[in-house]
Structure 1
Amino acid sequence: MSDAVSPAAESRIKPKAYMAMVATVAAIAGGLYGYDTGIISGALPQIAQDFELNHRAQELVTAAILLGAVIGALSSTRMSATLGRRLTIVIVAGIYCIGVVAAAVSPNVWCLGLSRLVLGFAVGGSTQIVPTYIAELAPPEKRGRLVTYFNVSIGVGILLAAIVGVAGQNLFTWRWMIGVALVPSLVLLFGMTKMPRSPRWLVEQAQPKKASHELAKVRDTSKEVREEIADIQEVVEKKEEDSVTGWRAMRQPWLRPALIAGLGVAAFTQLSGIEMMIYYTPTFLKDAGFGASAALWSALGVAITYLVMTVIGKLIVDKVGRRTLSLVMIPGAVVALLVLGAVLHFNLAGEAQGWWVVACLIVFMIFNAGGIQVVGWLTGSEIYPLAIRDQATGAHAAMLWGSNLLLTGTALTMTKWLGVGGAMWVYAGLNALGWLFIFFLVPETGGRSLEDIERSLKAGTFRPR
């Protein structure tokens, strides 16, 4: 193969365009995550009426997908290590299909809850493997932009769920609202069968020639392929020299900085309050005096803001850096939550309170969605060394979903104890803690190869400054 020829070129698709296509197809899993978790807010009133659910039963139906996501995130680690990243995504897509259909035709609330648990398994599995799959194929200088296709896809899914929740109330039953997700599930299932396999996984399986062939599809020259494969082989050989691997390897001291930084970012990505805002925005707005229709339309505006800021974050994250983007954006989210808490607790705005609430929610979404939400999934895809990547990315996704479950499960209780305003101050404090954590413990990973990050960990130079 000459320096100017690659399999992608032979098929008349330039490597950069082919890599973007790979990231787009794989990121459909993020759209399914966003839609399947978000659609319940619009579908739940109909579900509650059909099955005569009390408040507690509605909470259980909503939370089932989050519990399934924790289980799926941890369970998929063995699949991705044994079967490879691409095949694992194909399996996850198949589970999406089964879960969507089962939920849409559920004859009772128990079947619906079980179906959403299955959907959660797919959601958790996809969040564990898709960012890693994209990161292992992407060139270092564009890894942030490509991995965050996943974040953008989540935003698209949330927005579509909000649109269906607003426009579909009088057009569709809840079964159609849920069942329509079968279409992108099938696109993901069949689309991934045509995508390349991870070259890093292939090198681990002692298949360097196949790894070179797959990597050549997304690199411009054979020189780049040779150098990158040699770099991967060097890291894999050192990994094979270690007597401890897998979950036990995560206890080794040299890995501790990566685990602390990665799992901490994962926790604060959810503890910042983003999912709580998405799930409960209509409730907050109704409490602020908005009618049901106006509350839903305002929630749609919040979803649009989330998507727009995720796209902006995707475009700048490689230039600005992961650490810098988080440190710049989090203070804006803190201020928005402090003001929102004051407006709600002290009724500062009088008759204009509803619009102040909407403004604060949108400002919060601007700084949160454009900052730590961009970084949260990306960090998990690139910070963990090859020796523990499968296990650590599973733990990373489980931390994200576990934190989400904790936050969502306590939101209504916290607002009952402290009032909505007091709860906003608690979330402002959690955002401030997140800023301090990133400042002191999270190094910059942008623009560095995965192998370079691993070498700095082993050398003890993986530090924030």
Structure 2
Amino acid sequence: MASTSDASSPLDNISDAGLQKVRRWGLWINLATFLIGYATGIIAGALLYIRGDFDLNQAQQGLATSILLIGAMVAAMLTGRLADRFGRKAVLGVAGALFAVGFAVSALATGFALLILGRLVMGFGVGIASALVPTYLGEISPAKIRGRMLTLNQLLQTVGMLVAYVVNLVFSASGNWQAMFWVGVVPAALLAVIAVRLPESPAWLIGKGRIDAAKEMLSSVAGAEGADMVIERYHHEDEERRREQAGRPEQKKGWRALLAPRVRPALVVALGLAFLQQAIGINTVLYYAPTIMEQTGLSASNSIIYSVIIGVVNLAMTILSLRLIDRIGRRPLLLVSLIGMGLSVAGLGVAFIAGLGSVILLACMLVFVSSFAVGMGPVLWVILGEVFASQEQAEGAGAGSAVSWLSNFAISTAFLPLAGLIGTGPVFLVFAVMCALALAFVYRRVPETKGREFDQIDSDLQARAQGKKPDA
């Protein structure tokens, strides 16, 4: 619904009860992003004990962390096509099953190879969830709460990561890393079960010609009249699209459709933000926080406590973003976020080089994570749910997600070896330079999407792509 130019407008007048129902659906859908956070965060503490049990070198430690990202990238590339064929809720259920299997295999691992297999399967679940959730939420959300609904993606991911850090801390005394993975099986199995009871996306149902099912879903939140209005506008938009395509070469489908000239500006924004979100180095801090803090002389358990502090701040600032994103907009949050990240990661690099101690390092890391959580973290997933037209939405979100995980993999895998080669401090200074480049990209290419329908967003995208000043 959010992807069409006017289709979401009738839903902006739905009752408070209808809005509450949509919000509940959003929370259950975002159980998948909770699992993303847990799956990516749990390795931070578990690795401190796994590396001793399996006698892992630095390269193996990096692979144990980053193989999940390869699985995520592969799955994200396939998710758009699968979601368009089988529906949003069915693919979400598959993600829950993959998470459960991945956690179980990791917990049962008796050696490095089995651990890698479990993390890879876990990564498939991560990739599906990251590509599917923005599309799913965007299609069931009225425009006036769309930003907050899409920000739930990052919020629940942050909650998942914080829970993972707390679980790490609980089992740190015994060093029971197997239990750290077993805990993740519970919410994963719950997601697989809950997905069966969630509503299907009305956009997908209408696209498949299942009008009665779409009307039933829409009527449950907007009433019969509102449902008819939404369906009528979908049909009207489809007819307009058919008239535009008349006499033109056959429209490309799937990934090839993203390369069409009219779609390219949205694709550049989606892929550019996805790459830059990782290139600024956030996940080197979130994944390796205990390892980084150990370099200052702290014990493993004390290092995990520092990571819990980082997780709490990450969650608090993501909640703040949730309150701000539909008030002040996406662009201001992105710009402020990148300025704060650039300054703090530069400070982090200087602190490492000068040997300023764990307290200064923690302060810089907290400002860095706070700045990310209020802007660059959640806004990417909001933008992925807003800059593509309905027919390219699933594939576009999948492409952005795939680039994000590929970039995440490359940077996370290279971080420890590169830090060993040139030093941790200089690596963080490189991230500061990337923050400056990201700031320039956002200023020039990323449109404001707050409270705007797709035709307005697309007009802004096209103007920026041509170097023109966008309409206010």
Q: 1:184 Cα shift?
A: 0.5
From 50, 53, 71, give the equivalent of 1:50.
Answer: 53
Where does residue 42 of structure 2 map in the other structure?
A: 39
| Cα distance per residue 1:12-44 (max 9 Å; x no partner) | x92111111101001011111111111112112
In 1, distance between residues paired with 2:361 and 2:273?
A: 27
In 1, distance between residues paired with 2:287 and 2:67?
A: 14
Contact (CA 8 Å) 1:79, 1:88: kept in 2 or not? yes
Where does residue 192 of structure 1 map in the other structure?
A: 195
Question: Is 1:345 paired with 2:353?
Answer: yes
| Cα distance per residue 1:148-176 (max 9 Å; x no partner) | 11211111111111111122123462222
In 1, distance between residues paired with 2:463 and 2:66?
A: 43
Correspondence 1:355-370 to 2 at 5 A: 355-370=359-374
SS in 2 for 1:254: coil
Contact (CA 8 Å) 1:254, 1:457: kept in 2 or not? no
In 2, distance between residues paired with 1:104 and 1:447?
A: 45
Q: 1:229 Cα shift?
A: 2.5
Q: 1:340 Cα shift?
A: 1.8
From 217, 220, 227, give the equivalent of 1:217.
Answer: 220
Where does residue 372 of structure 1 map in the other structure?
A: 376
Where does residue 231 of structure 1 map in the other structure?
A: 233
| Cα distance per residue 1:97-131 (max 9 Å; x no partner) | 22222222233321221121111011001100011
Instruction: Report the CA distance shift for 1:454/1:332 in structure 2 as closer, same or farther (over 3 A).
Output: closer
In 1, distance between residues paired with 2:206 and 2:434?
A: 41
Correspondence 1:29-428 to 2 at 5 A: 29-171=32-174, 173-219=176-222, 221-239=223-241, 242=245, 243-244=250-251, 245-347=253-355, 349=356, 353-428=357-432
Contact (CA 8 Å) 1:439, 1:464: kept in 2 or not? no
Identify the range of structure 1 (422-431 vs 450-459) with the bigger mean alpha-carbon deviation: 450-459
SS in 2 for 1:206: coil
Residue 366 of structure 1 aligns to which amino acid in structure 2?
A: S
Gaps spanning 5+ residues in structure 2: where? 1-9
The percentage of counterpart residues that share the same residue type is 30
Residue 180 of structure 1 aligns to which amino acid in structure 2?
A: V
Instruction: Report the CA distance shift for 1:203/1:464 in structure 2 as closer, same or farther (over 3 A).
Output: farther
Contact (CA 8 Å) 2:34, 2:158: kept in 1 or not? yes
Instruction: Report the CA distance shift for 1:460/1:161 in structure 2 as closer, same or farther (over 3 A).
Output: closer
In 1, distance between residues paired with 2:294 and 2:56?
A: 21
In 1, distance between residues paired with 2:442 and 2:420?
A: 31
Q: 1:240 Cα shift?
A: 5.1
In 1, distance between residues paired with 2:330 and 2:336?
A: 10
Where does residue 5 of structure 2 map in the other structure?
A: none
Q: 1:260 Cα shift?
A: 0.7
| Cα distance per residue 1:74-109 (max 9 Å; x no partner) | 122221010111111112112222222222223332
SS in 1 for 2:221: coil
| Cα distance per residue 1:237-258 (max 9 Å; x no partner) | 3455642222222221111111
Residue 70 of structure 1 aligns to which amino acid in structure 2?
A: M
In 2, distance between residues paired with 1:194 and 1:35?
A: 23
In 1, distance between residues paired with 2:460 and 2:238?
A: 16
Instruction: Report the CA distance shift for 1:236/1:117 in structure 2 as closer, same or farther (over 3 A).
Output: farther
Residue 225 of structure 1 aligns to which amino acid in structure 2?
A: A
Gaps spanning 5+ residues in structure 1: where? none
SS in 2 for 1:175: helix
Q: 1:303 Cα shift?
A: 0.9
Identify the range of structure 1 (395-404 vs 273-282) with the bigger mean alpha-carbon deviation: 273-282
SS in 1 for 2:393: helix
Contact (CA 8 Å) 1:137, 1:218: kept in 2 or not? no
Instruction: Report the CA distance shift for 1:209/1:461 in structure 2 as closer, same or farther (over 3 A).
Output: farther
Q: Could you state the TM-score of these two structures normalised by the residue count of structure 2? A: 0.90
In 2, distance between residues paired with 1:175 and 1:240?
A: 55
Q: 1:457 Cα shift?
A: 6.2
In 1, distance between residues paired with 2:460 and 2:240?
A: 14
Measured on the aligned residues, the alpha-carbon RMSD in Å equals 2.4
Contact (CA 8 Å) 1:249, 1:387: kept in 2 or not? no
| Cα distance per residue 1:363-389 (max 9 Å; x no partner) | 111111111101011111221122322
Q: 1:54 Cα shift?
A: 3.0
Q: 1:459 Cα shift?
A: 9.4
Identify the range of structure 1 (336-345 vs 154-163) with the bigger mean alpha-carbon deviation: 336-345
Residue 214 of structure 1 aligns to which amino acid in structure 2?
A: M
SS in 2 for 1:443: coil
Residue 319 of structure 1 aligns to which amino acid in structure 2?
A: R
Q: 1:262 Cα shift?
A: 1.3
Residue 322 of structure 1 aligns to which amino acid in structure 2?
A: R
| Matched length | 452
Contact (CA 8 Å) 1:24, 1:149: kept in 2 or not? yes
| Cα distance per residue 1:302-324 (max 9 Å; x no partner) | 11111111111011101111111
Q: Could you state the TM-score of these two structures normalised by the residue count of structure 1? A: 0.91
